[in-house]
Structures are given as structure tokens and as C-alpha cells.
Amino acid sequence: MPVASYAIAGHGVRNFISSSSSSIHRHNFPFTVRSILKITPLYSPFNRNYAAAAVSSSSSTRDITNSIENAGNFTWNDVFEVSQSENGSSDLGGFFQKINLCNRGSEKRFDFIPFVIEDQIVGYVHNGFVDHLSKFKDVFTIMKDNAHETQSGHVTLQSALKTPESRTEALGNVVKCLGEEVFPGIRNELYPVTSSYGGRVYFSLERAAAPYFGIKAYGIHMNGYVEKDGKKYLWIGKRSETKATYAGMLDHLVAGGLPHGMSCAENVVKECEEEAGIPRPISSRAIPVSVVSYMDIDGYRFKRDVLFCYDLKLPESFIPHNQDGEVGSFKLLPVTLVGDVIRNTEFFKANCNLVIIDFLFRHGFIKPEDDGYLKLLQSLRSGDCS
Amino acid sequence: MPVASYAIAGHGVRNFISSSSSSIHRHNFPFTVRSILKITPLYSPFNRNYAAAAVSSSSSTRDITNSIENAGNFTWNDVFEVSQSENGSSDLGGFFQKINLCNRGSEKRFDFIPFVIEDQIVGYVHNGFVDHLSKFKDVFTIMKDNAHETQSGHVTLQSALKTPESRTEALGNVVKCLGEEVFPGIRNELYPVTSSYGGRVYFSLERAAAPYFGIKAYGIHMNGYVEKDGKKYLWIGKRSETKATYAGMLDHLVAGGLPHGMSCAENVVKECEEEAGIPRPISSRAIPVSVVSYMDIDGYRFKRDVLFCYDLKLPESFIPHNQDGEVGSFKLLPVTLVGDVIRNTEFFKANCNLVIIDFLFRHGFIKPEDDGYLKLLQSLRSGDCS
């Protein structure tokens, strides 16, 4: 590991510590706080897309999502140039906007019918998507009822599929058969299918297919932070430009879906090693601190995600190193700047915004005196948090 | 201020720092962790009352509440003798029980009718309590509708009472007239009447009367903690034996209702000074971290409380001193012991349990691996959190 000497500056000229796979360099940020306050407060390269979103159909929503998911066409310099409020702004509008980004399409909730296993609702399937499934008569039973001009009924599995293993295999074949065209981004990573966290696992399903079945997905997100002279800094990653999803966008130091059979604590240690090269003696100090949840409908996809949030206070001397090629580079940014980046841009992968807003609450950067405090706090758990 | 030298011990024999109005002494806790594990795990002097609660009528509920509110008949030694789990137990049952203590009587919610001002619901009044109010024909208008054998309708103020001042005066006279017999514990402290936090204040009402009108009440509760060698300790108060409510019970270092016209931040500084002698240079470092809420129906009283939670990391050398006579003494206890006291006893004033459970979540003492994690986390905001 290369060694770098550096300092975290207070006000005035700031030095940002950065780390990439090839080198560690020192970025001398050439603006004082006062000078950057003059920069346009709302830096949003996606405004054009958002105007379009207001009149979106199902297909245009997909286009917008893709553009957002691959919209990391900005540099760290663009991040540094985001207006930074010296004592934090009290306008929470930009935060509410990011909550909404993760909770789209609630008005389309009734276009979905329940996916039921053994009398438990484990997911939701779009009425249009049911047509894909109806071809697999040995796997699915579809009970549709349009008699009263309402979309009702439910999807279940054929009664012959009694064991988790047989269901996992049958659904695995469906995913293979429909392939990348229907389920883009297949990862060969299985998610457990349950009705609630810690509950019985009915079978396992390919991660990329989970949103099409409205399966609840659980993950861990970790805020890695440093405290220096009473000021807090967050390590932020910029996703690799070659990632299939959200390429080039800002991300947590460490985050990952919760695979079948692994505890949150084990997953944090594993992802710390893979994503940031954090050794177990340090990563085992990460503490579970909160939970955020959201419910996002986008075309046929119904995401019902619950993220377990962790905080890890890192030593000042620690420099992260990505091991799995998924992160391009890391930088250590003042929490106040990170808050302003969330407020004023869409640089972060959408669900990271929620976890960092939760961090801002727990560390006192958002205050009861800010208009909308209670509403914003509650909106961090807009999804089914079970 | 007297000066005391002391140490916070790790495992084995523990020293607890204590502070009372007259002296500071060092309590040598004579048990090792292993020996105290042998003590009965569920220490609950109120079990008898709880058996009664299962068959309670409105009046017996009141009796139980009074016994709880005045049930601080235990000593610090009883606190120290509570079983302490070395690494924290994963059984959350005792925590759920404390959440329920603050959220009683939800099945009686429909015995209440809305209290409406200018088309906004600002509270709820019990059908039986309406009889008291109906005597004040120049103050209240009561719209009752029993036509369909359901209790419906609403209470509002006479249309002549147009200004906040005239309403405050009229309600103040009602409180004076009905007096201590109806509203025990009158404090001459006014609470703002709103439909939500930060919203328009329609008038102000005596604090002791607020639950009888189902007014939303806001307060601040502060966890004062110390970190030493990676272990965390909480300063806990024991309420004065002469307090009108919850005498002798355990309490936060600092807590208070939010009076009309005062911000949470100002209130924290004020209460820090009054309740624990914490000077402004230290108290201004308290950070807002979370919110808990509950909804408690007890006879005619409908509490709809929202508590803003603060954390203050105190210097090891700081010793609190109560200034207003409301606290008998303070002690610094390991967070793990505080968790076990909450889990296994009813020593704490009921709503303090919620704020400390929230602390246990945010500081990693309750983990996603503990059965019921998500349910417990959500139950901390069982009330209307707006």
C-alpha cells in the first residue's frame, strides 16, 4: 500500500484526500468556502430528464431510469464545485427530492397483483409482466379476475413445487429462459424470498429478477467517516466507469445486497474487504445504527428494499483501496459538502442519498429547527420496513 | 463544585460515579459480571399490577398508572443488582414490553372524538370527558351524533373565540374552574396547541390539561454519555422522592417539555442548566439525533407525544448537579447495564425507555441479528410523528 502524507484542512483552502486503484494523490481544492458559495446553487445535469419525467409513460420512465443509472458523466472537480453552506442550509427541499427519486410510481401500485407462497405475500407482479410468466404453466398458477374492471387476483407457484430447492430450480430456469432481454444485468447472485426479514425462506431468486417479482430485498450500506478537530468527513466512492449500473456515480464506501444465508454483520466485513480493502480488525468495529426503506415502481419493476445502515469511524491514517474493480476512486469529503452534493445534484446512486440523509440526521447536521424535519425523518422509511 | 477523583472500571469490580445535591461519593459495586448474572433475570416489582391490567376497567387503569407514576420505591443498589449481560442479550422482549407501556389503550381510540379548531384536528376528547366540557357553553360547541349507535361528532370552540389570546384565556378559565380534581398536577406551564410541529399555534393550554384534550405535546430528551477506553456510559438521574409525578424513578440526565415559543435547541440549553448544571459551552455541543413518538390512552387522557432526542458526549471530568430540586442524584452507568435495567425492570419513567432504546439502536447495542430488530425499531415511532 503506498503511503501518503496529508492533512485535512479546516476552512479556507481545502485538501481532499483521494485514492484510486493506481495512485494516491493530493487534490488541492482551489476555492475558499466563500468563493464557492457564488457557484450556481442547483447543479443538476438531469433537469431535462426530469421535465420529461412529468409526462412519462412506462417506456419513457425506463429511458429516464437508464439515463440516471448511467449518468455518472461528471468528475470529482464537479463534486468539489458544488455550493457548500458553511453552517449547513436549513432548506430540506433537495433532500425531499432525493427521497422521491427512490419512491417513484406509488400511484401505479394497483397495476400489480400479489405473488403468494403458502398464503404469504412475498412479492408483487405487474399485470403486464404476468403475460411473460403465463407461458411457464408448470411453474406458475395465475389467478386473474377482471370481472369488475379492476385488476385483482394473484400469482402463485404450481402446487407440485413444494420444496425451496425445487422452487429455486424452477425459477432459475425461468430466469435463464427469459434471459437478459427481460432481466437485464443477471449476476448469478441469489436473493432469499421471504415475507419479512428473518422469516422463513420460501426459495431463492436471481438478484436481477427480484424487482420483477416485487421481492423484498435487504442490503447493508456503510458510512465510513473520519473525525478531525471536531469536524466530520465521509469517505465517498466513485463507481467504476465500466459498471453495468450507475457507472461513474457517487457511492458509499461500502454497500452490498444481503445474500442468502449471510448475516448483516458478516456481510459488512466481507464487503469492507472487497470494496474498500478494510481489514477485519477495523471493519468489525462497524456498528449497526439505523434502517432506511423505499418502494420504487418503474415499469414492471417493483423494488421493496430495506437497507441496514452502518457507521464505521475510521482512523485518520486509513486509505481505502477497492479490490474488486467496482469502484474507480475514493475521496474523503467534509460531511457538509456531501450534504450539499445530495441537496443540489443527482451525483449519488439514488439509494445512497437516503443512507447519507439518515447519517446527517443522526450526526446533527439536520435539525428540528429546519422546516420539514419530522416529515423528512419519517420519509426515510417510506417502504415496508419489515 | 466539589472535586472527585474517580475511575471508570472495565470488567470485574466496577466503580460507579455518583452525584447528589449534598455529596459526591464513589460507589464500589461489589459484584463481578459473572456473579450478578446469577441474579433473577426479571426484576419487576409491578408484576402484580400487570396481572391486574389485563382485566382493567377505566378506573383500575388509573390506579395502576398512579402506582407506576409513584413507584420509585427502589434504591441505586437495586439498579446495580440488575442482571447485566456481558455482550448484551439478543432477547428484545423486555424492550417491546416498555414500548407497550407507553402505547396503552389503542383499542379505546374510538371512545374519543376530535377536537377541531378552524377545520384542523388539534386533539381528541373522551366521550365521558365531554360531559365536563358541556358545562362551559360559552367556550365549547359539542357536536355529538349517537344516531347510529356509534360515538361520533366533534368538539370545537365557540365561534366568538377568534384569537389565540381569547382562546388561551377561555381555556385557562376552564382549567382553573375544574381545578386539580379534574387536572391533577397543574403546573402553570403553557403548551402550544397545533395540528403539527412547527405549524400554526391556535392557542396555548396548561400542560397538565393537555392529555385530556389529546393535544400533541413535544419535548426534548437528552442522553448524556461518556466514552472511556471504547466503552460507553450514560449519566442517569433518579427523580426526587418529592416530585409529584414518577417520584424516585430513573430519568434522563436532561429532559423537558417544549414550551410555547421556544426552539428545541434553546430548550436543551435551558434544561441542561436547570436539571444538571451543564454550562452553555458544553450543552451547546448536544446534537439532535432522532425522534420517538407514542400514543397512550389512559382513562380520559390521550397522550400524543413526540420527543426530540439529543446526544451529548460529556467530558469524563464533568459531574452533573441538579439545580431545580427535581433530581435526587445522578450516576454514571455502563450502557450495557442501562439496557438490562430497561429490559428487566420498570425503574425508568416510561417514556425515557423509548429514548434510551433509540440510543441503544444508534450506538449498535441492538443488532440486526436480534430477533424482532426491525419491528422494535419501527415501534419507537408508534405515535403520530408530525
Contact A386 B368 (CB under 8 A): no
What is the pLDDT averaged over residues B322-348?
93
Q: Determine what percent of chain A falls in helix, strand and coil, rounding each to the nearest 5.
A: 30, 30, 40
- Per-residue pLDDT of A61-105, as tens digits, reads 333 333 444 467 899 999 999 976 655 577 999 999 999 999 999
Higher pLDDT, B36 or B124: B124
Architecture of domain B14-101+219-379: Alpha-Beta Complex (3.90)
Q: Which residue of B has its CA nearest to A219?
A: B368
- Residue among A386, A377, A341 at smallest CA distance from A359: A377
- For residues B310 and B289, is the Cβ–Cβ distance under 8 A? yes
Question: What is residue A102's DSSP assignment?
Answer: T
Contact A113, A153 (CB under 8 A): yes
Identify which of A224, A228, A313, A315 has the alpha carbon closest to the alpha carbon of residue A7: A228
C-alpha cell at A209: 429478477
3-state helix, strand, coil in chain B (%, to 5): 30, 30, 40
* Residue A163 confidence (pLDDT) above 80: yes
* Residue B211 CA neighbour count, 13 Å, CB half: 18
Tell me the pLDDT band of A194, cut-offs 50, 70 and 90.
very high
Distance from CA of B367 to the nearest CA of A (A): 6
Radius of gyration of chain A from its Cα atoms, rounded to whole angstroms: 22
Per-residue exposure over A317-342, b if at least 16 CB sit within 10 Å of its own CB, e if not: ebbbbbeeeebbbbbbbbbbbbbbbb
CB contact under 8 A, A308 and B368: yes
CA nearest A289: which of A272, A270, A263, A308?
A308
* Among the ranges given (A270-274, B63-67, B180-184, B228-232), the one the predictor scored with the smallest mean pLDDT: B63-67
Q: A200 in contact with B at a CB cutoff of 8 Å?
A: no
User: Is A306 in Cβ contact with B363 (below 8 Å)?
Assistant: no
Residue tagged 419513567 (cell numbers)? B349
| CB B110, CB B124: distance < 8 Å | no
B290 touches chain A (CB under 8 A): yes
Mean pLDDT estimate for chain A: 82
| Best of B194, B309, B374 to mutate (most A CBs within 10 Å, chain A) | B374
- Say yes or no for a CB contact (<8 Å) between B369 and A264: yes
d(CA A289, CA A105): 29
Mean pLDDT over A258-262 rounds to 87
CA separation for the pair A275, A256 (Å, rounded): 9
Fold of B106-213: Transcription Regulator spoIIAA (3.30.750)
DSSP at B70: T
Provide the 3-class DSSP secondary structure of residue A358: helix
Q: Which residue has the higher pLDDT, B17 or B35?
A: B17
Q: Calculate what percentage of chain A has a pLDDT beyond 70.
A: 78
pLDDT of amino acid B256:
92
Extents of the domains making up chain B: 14-101+219-379, 106-213
pLDDT at A146: 59
Q: How far is residue A362's CA from residue A252's CA, in Å, rounded to a whole number?
A: 17
Of A162-166, A372-376, B37-41, B102-106, the poorest mean pLDDT is in B37-41
pLDDT at B6: 30
Exposure string over B324-352, b if 16+ CB within 10 A, otherwise e = eeebbbbbbbbbbbbbbbbbbbbbbbbbb
Q: Which of A265, A369, A374 has its CB closest to that of B291?
A: A374
Residues of chain B found within 8 Å of residue A378, distances taken between Cβ atoms: 381, 385-386
CA distance A13 to A16: 10
pLDDT at B165: 97
pLDDT one-digit tens code per residue, B148-165: 545 579 999 999 999 999
DSSP B176-229: HHHHHHHSTT--S-EEEE-SSTTS---EEEEGGGGGGGT-EEEEEEEEEEEEET
Looking at chain A, which residue has its C-alpha nearest residue B372?
A: A198
- Shortest alpha-carbon distance between residue B386 and chain A (Å): 6
Report the pLDDT averaged over residues A310-337. Answer: 93
Percent of chain A's residues with pLDDT above 90: 69
pLDDT at residue number B182? 93
Q: Which of B196, B368, B381 sits opposite A288 (nearest CB)?
A: B368
- CB proximity B373 to A under 8 Å: yes
User: In Å, how far are A121, A127, A228, B384 from A134, measured between CA atoms?
Assistant: 19, 11, 59, 43
A3: three-class secondary structure by DSSP? coil
CA B341 to chain centre: 16
Nearest-Å Rg of the Cα atoms of chain B is: 22
Q: Residue A376 is placed in which grid cell?
A: 423528512
Interface contacts A/B by beta carbons within 8 Å: 79
Interchain proximity A289–B265, CB inside 8 Å: no
Q: Is the dihedral of CA A240, A242, A247, A252 positive or negative?
A: negative
The verdict on A291 touching B (C-beta cutoff 8 Å) is: yes
Alpha-carbon span A344 to B302, nearest angstrom: 42
Residues of A in Cβ contact (< 8 Å) with B362: 289-290, 362
Strand order in the sheet with A120-126: A120-126, A112-117, A152-157, A140-145
pLDDT digits (tens, 9 = 90+) for A334-371: 999 999 999 999 999 999 999 999 999 999 999 999 99
pLDDT at B37 over 80: no
CA distance A256 to chain B (A): 15
Helical spans, DSSP H, in chain B: 33-36, 47-53, 58-69, 76-80, 93-101, 127-133, 164-182, 264-276, 280-283, 335-344, 350-362, 373-379
Residue whose C-alpha cell reads 450514560 in the numeric block: B234
Residue A51 belongs to what H/E stretch?
helix A47-53
Nearest to A362 among B289, B366, B377 (CB): B289
* pLDDT (tens digit per residue) in A105-122: 999 999 999 999 999 999
Determine the pLDDT at residue A252.
Answer: 92
Of A58 and A309, more confident: A309
A4: Cβ–Cβ under 8 A, 6 or more apart, which residues? Answer: A17, A24, A25, A26, A319
State percent of chain B over pLDDT 90.
69
Assess whether the region B14-101+219-379 and the region B106-213 belong to the same CATH fold: no
**Residue for grid cell 356509534:** B150
